[in-house]
Amino acid sequence: MYTLLSGLYKYMFQRDEYCVLILGLDNAGKTVKTFLEQTKTRFNKNYKGMSLSKITTTVGLNIGTIDVGKTRLMFWDLGGQEELQSLWDKYYAESHGVIYVIDSTDEERLSESKRAFEKMITSEALEGVPILVLANKQDVETCLSIPDIKTAFSDCINKIGKRDCLTQACSALTGKGVNEGIEWMVKCVVRNIHRPPRKKDIT
């Protein structure tokens, strides 16, 4: 009887919570935070959001949550400055997914972004964790295309391993691609049995 009541309580009053890291170079710091704001605005009905023009570079950690059905995603938006990248791996063991944001308009720093991405995916602490690569600023006419970015990151393909990985065109400014990316991430973290969710009371 206790087991039945316990299961009923969890079904009625608890939701599964998954922690998702949002990473990217410092030039994508504003972009990363803009993506987080777009996500909260689109998935949280009562969230009014900040003016995108007032969003500044992420220094340290920003946290945000959204609910998709009975699934809760908690986002940890980490600063992308070179001196802060050394802190990224401190969060890997607790994360269920990673969103890696690339500035599609900054071809000069694409190789730097690739090095940071490569270092991240080779961490044993992230083994099996789904990764969503967002090619951001696709609303800019001169941006790099998805094929361009995939070619630049082609050396990383064999290092991704046996995990879900998707490259998604996105514009955090207009919101294009945000819903598709989040919905894909939800499906991936829910079906990844190797990283069970945290149970949180519904509030």
Q: Give per-residue pLDDT as tens, 129-185.
A: 999 999 999 999 999 999 999 999 999 989 998 899 999 999 988 889 989 999 999
Residues annotated as binding site for Mg(2+)?
A: 31, 58
In this prediction, residue 6 has a pLDDT band, given cuts at 50, 70 and 90, of very low
What is the share, in percent, of the chain residues with pLDDT greater than 70?
A: 80
- Find the helix or strand (DSSP H, E) in which 187 lies: helix 178-191
Instruction: Give the distance from CA 203 to its chain's centroid.
Output: 23
In this prediction, residue 89 has a pLDDT band, given cuts at 50, 70 and 90, of very high
- CATH of region 19-195: 3.40.50.300
User: Residue 138: which of 195, 178, 98 has the closest Cα?
Assistant: 178
Which pLDDT score, from 0 to 100, does residue 48 have? 57
Residues annotated as binding site?
A: 24-31, 58, 80, 136-139
Which pLDDT score, from 0 to 100, does residue 200 have? 73
Which residue of the set 14, 38, 81, 168 is catalytic?
81
φ and ψ at residue 172, rounded to 5 degrees: -65, -25
- Torsion over CA: 181, 184, 189, 192 (sign): negative
pLDDT of residue 33 exceeding 80, the answer is no
Amino acid identity at 166: L
Which residue is associated with the tokens 């951001």? 136
Domain map of the chain by residue range? 19-195
Which pLDDT score, from 0 to 100, does residue 116 have? 95
Question: What rounded mean pLDDT belongs to the chain?
Answer: 83
Buried-exposed string 75-110: b where 16+ CB fall within 10 A, e elsewhere: bbbbbbeeebbeebeebbeebbbbbbbbbbbbeeeb
Residues annotated as binding site for GTP?
A: 24-31, 80, 136-139
6: Cβ contacts below 8 Å, ≥ 6 apart: none
Which pLDDT score, from 0 to 100, does residue 198 have? 86
Whether residue 38 lies in the annotated active site: no
Quote the tokens at residue 70: 């009975």
In 44-177, alpha helices (H): 82-85, 110-121, 146-152, 157-160
Which pLDDT score, from 0 to 100, does residue 162 have? 87
Q: Rounded mean pLDDT of 93-101?
A: 96
